[in-house]
């Protein structure tokens, strides 16, 4: 077994299972996807650590536990369609691609989106579509979605995203101040959204029409 495979198993056991992640499909996906390939080579040795890492353009790849917590909350079934807002490195995108039927992902920064597209293609994920744009308004042409994940912090829940959720659809989004947020999960039931809170978190800003102005 390679050093990275050992590091992945240790990450799953010590950072995810020990902190309460139970969904076996999520644990398997996190044990399978080569996280180090989503950061620059100089950071490969730290790729399985218990923290976010820089990915350029002042953005980050999220901490493994946060990726697992958000993914578990989405309750994805293997035929479902999911929208990710904030592609970043493409790591979370790959995890979603392991668990859902089709993944749509939007990244605001062209350089990051282009790198993520190359990585996702080279790893052979054919059920992913990534585009450059403002994901705070969603992806209307591809809606409705069974699940929507926002991987950047926003001052309020983007209304367009709620509109693009299908019946029983789940939205997971960090909401709050620029420096810290609460991870919120909304489930659509008819005209209502049932909200729960999953804990505190710290994300970079969602910059766009339905997020921060800058």
Angle at 107 between CA 205 and CA 95, to 5 degrees: 95
Structure tokens at 145: 């979605």
Report, in Å, the least distance between residue 62 CB and ligand SAM.
Answer: 5
Residue 46 or 189: the one with the smaller Cβ distance to ligand SAM is: 46
Q: With beta carbons less than 8 A apart as the criterion, state whether 66 and 92 touch.
A: no
Measured from the CB of residue 105, what is the shortest distance to ligand SAM in angstroms? 8
Interacting stretch for ligand SAM, rule CB under 6 A, among 2-10, 87-95, 170-178, 187-195? 87-95
Q: Which is nearer to ligand SAM, 81 or 108 (CB)?
A: 108
Residue showing tokens 């994901």: 135
Quick note: the x/- pattern for ligand SAM over 187-206, rule CB under 6 A, is: ----------------xx-x
Taking CB under 6 A as the binding criterion, the range among 2-10, 25-33, 42-50, 55-63 that sits at the site for ligand SAM is 55-63
Site for ligand SAM contains 169 (CB under 6 A) = no
Instruction: List the x/- string, 95-134, binding to ligand SAM by CB under 6 A.
Output: -----------xxxx--x---------------------x
Q: Backbone phi, then psi, for 49, in 5-degree steps?
A: -75, 170
Let me know if 136 is a catalytic residue: no
Report the site for ligand SAM in 131-160 (rule: CB under 6 A). Answer: 134-136, 151-152
Asked if residues 55 and 75 have their Cβ atoms less than 8 Å apart, the reply is no
Interaction mask 2-21, ligand SAM, x per CB under 6 A: --------------------
Contact criterion met (CB below 8 Å) for 69 and 199: yes
Report d(CA 187, CA 208) in Å as an integer: 23
Q: What is the largest CA-CA distance in the chain?
A: 51
129: region left, alpha or beta (phi > 0 left; psi from -120 to 50 alpha):
beta
| Residue from 48, 65, 91, 104 binding ligand SAM (CB under 6 A) | 91
Burial of residue 177 (number of CB atoms within 10 Å: 0-12, 13-18, 19+): exposed
The structure tokens listed for 89 are 């490195």
CB of 19 closer than 8 Å to CB of 48: no
Contact residues toward ligand SAM (CB under 6 A) are 55, 59-62, 85-86, 88-89, 91-92, 106-109, 112, 134-136, 151-152, 203-204, 206-208, 211
What amino acid positions are annotated as catalytic residues? 62
């Amino acid at each position: 077994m390679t050093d990275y495979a050992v590091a992945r198993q240790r990450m799953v056991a010590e950072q995810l299972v020990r902190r309460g992640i139970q969904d076996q499909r999520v644990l398997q996906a996190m044990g399978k996807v080569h996280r180090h390939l989503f950061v620059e080579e100089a950071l490969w040795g730290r790729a399985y650590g218990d923290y976010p890492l820089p990915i350029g353009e002042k953005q980050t790849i999220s901490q493994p536990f946060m990726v697992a917590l958000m993914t578990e909350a989405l309750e994805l079934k293997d035929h479902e369609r999911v929208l990710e807002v904030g592609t970043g490195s493409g790591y979370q995108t790959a995890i979603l691609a392991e668990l859902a039927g089709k993944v749509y992902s939007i990244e605001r920064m062209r350089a990051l989106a282009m790198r993520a597209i190359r990585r996702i293609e080279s790893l052979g994920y054919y059920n992913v579509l990534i585009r450059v744009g403002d994901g705070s308004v969603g992806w209307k042409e591809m809606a409705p979605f069974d699940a929507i994940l926002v991987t950047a912090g926003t001052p309020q829940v983007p209304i367009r995203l709620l509109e693009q959720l299908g019946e029983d659809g789940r939205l997971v989004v960090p909401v709050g101040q620029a420096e810290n947020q609460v991870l919120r999960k909304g489930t659509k039931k008819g005209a209502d959204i049932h909200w729960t809170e999953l804990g505190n978190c710290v994300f970079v800003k969602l910059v766009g029409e339905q997020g921060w102005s800058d």
